[in-house]
Amino acid sequence: MFPWIWLWAPQLRLPFGGDVTQDIEPTLQAFFRGIKPASGDARIEAQAFDVASYGDQLGVITRLLLEWAERLPADAQEKSKPLEELRAIHAAIEAIKGVERVRRSR
């Protein structure tokens, strides 16, 4: 190959055709900015999310409800359709977590 051929080689620079830098740090600010003022204070929501995510908060509430439900009489527990649904949802989520933990440990 001739070393002078690069003189005729076209160089096309489209948008993002050259070196590109991108900030890939995850940020949720766009999510919290989307909270309407009537629904809550976005700054407070962001700080609360730093303490515990929504999933963590729901997990604590679910465990508390199930713990309290265990104190009900057996016949009341058997008749409660929402309690059955909550137990099924909790069991399914725990199964998903177990599968993911095993997958990540490989």
Residue 93 has pLDDT above 90, yes or no: yes
- What pLDDT is stored for residue 37 in this prediction? 76
Sign of CA dihedral 35, 50, 88, 63: negative
For residue range 21-45, list pLDDT tens digits in order.
666 777 777 777 777 777 788 888 8
Nearest to residue 31, comparing CAs of 16, 13, 53, 8? 53
> How large is the average pLDDT for residues 2-17?
63
> How large is the average pLDDT for residues 54-69?
95
Task: Give the whole-angstrom CA distance, residue 106 versus residue 87.
Answer: 29
Instruction: Measure Cα distances from 11 to 7, 8, 14, 19, 21 in Å.
Output: 10, 9, 10, 14, 20
